[in-house]
């Protein structure tokens, strides 16, 4: 799913809503199933599902008749979350990074690296394309019986001034 609108970023900015979108990647689920997994109420989950539907992030996956009623199953629209090139500058990165931080479990092993590069805009575009391909190509492990981990790839312009050339000594 390509994120572009302020409404989408605002919807994902709430930790419960982002967790729901991520959980629903496992399989479609009902409000009751989501509420049980999140330790919340059906009313609260229903409200947040509505916000996500209005933002175009969730859709109805199907229904099932049960004891005189109908259960509705919800699923995310599209695979993964990608910030669109036409999105408000910085909005998507802020939401994605703050979400990744909120998911971080204390004491768990993590591999976190921050690396600054000085490259041309053309090289940056090529690197961004290659990172996107790598993240989407399916070679990353995804075991339904495994534990959840977050992989956040971000290549963005940094506000780091360049030093002037060193004078001749």
DSSP state of 41: -
- Please indicate, yes or no, if residue 116 is contained in any of the structural domains: no
Number of CB atoms found within 10 A of residue 95's CB: 21
Sign of CA dihedral 133, 137, 140, 145: positive
Tell whether 42 is covered by a domain.
yes
* Number of domains present in the structure of the chain: 1
For every residue of 61-118, DSSP letters joined together read EEEEEETTEEEEEEEESSSS-EE-TTSPTTHHHHHHHHHHHHHPPTTS----------
Q: What is the pLDDT of residues 135-150, one digit of tens each?
A: 777 666 778 788 877 7
Beta-bridge mates of residue 59: 75
User: How much is the pTM?
Assistant: 0.73
For residue 136, give the nearest of 98, 80, 84, 85 by alpha carbon. Answer: 80
125, part of any domain: no
164 alpha-carbon distance from chain centroid: 38
Report the CATH number at residue 32.
Answer: 1.10.10.10
164 in a structural domain? no
pLDDT at 57: 94
Q: What is the pLDDT of residue 160?
A: 78
36 lies in a domain? yes
Has residue 129 been placed in a domain? no
d(CA 140, CA 92): 23
For residues 168 and 56, which has the higher predicted lDDT (pLDDT)?
56
Q: What is the pLDDT of residues 9-63, one digit of tens each?
A: 889 888 899 889 988 988 999 999 999 999 999 999 999 999 999 999 999 999 9
Q: Please report whether residue 44 resides in a domain.
A: yes
pLDDT, tens digit, for every residue of 84-117?
777 777 777 777 787 777 777 777 767 777 888 8
* pLDDT at residue 58, as a whole number: 96
Angle formed by the axes of helices 15-23 and 31-38, to 10°? 120
User: Tens digits of per-residue pLDDT, 124-138?
Assistant: 999 988 888 887 776
Question: Domain range for residue 80?
Answer: 2-105
The confidence score (pLDDT) of residue 122 equals 95
Residue 18 within a domain: yes
């Amino acid at each position: 799913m390509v994120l572009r609108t302020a409404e989408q970023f605002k919807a994902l900015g709430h930790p419960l809503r982002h967790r729901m979108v991520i959980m629903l990647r496992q399989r479609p689920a009902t409000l009751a199933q989501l509420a049980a997994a999140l330790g919340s109420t059906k009313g609260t989950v229903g409200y947040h599902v509505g916000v996500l539907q209005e933002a175009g992030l969730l859709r109805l996956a199907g229904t099932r008749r049960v004891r005189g009623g109908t259960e509705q199953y919800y699923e995310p629209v599209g695979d993964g979350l990608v910030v669109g090139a036409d999105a408000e500058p910085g909005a998507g990165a802020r939401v994605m990074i703050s979400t990744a931080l909120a998911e971080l479990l204390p004491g768990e092993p993590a591999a976190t690296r921050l690396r600054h590069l000085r490259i041309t805009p053309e090289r940056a575009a090529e690197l961004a394309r290659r990172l996107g391909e790598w993240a989407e190509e399916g070679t990353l492990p995804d075991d339904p019986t495994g534990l959840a981990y977050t992989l956040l790839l971000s290549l963005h312009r940094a506000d780091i001034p360049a030093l002037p050339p060193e004078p001749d000594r």
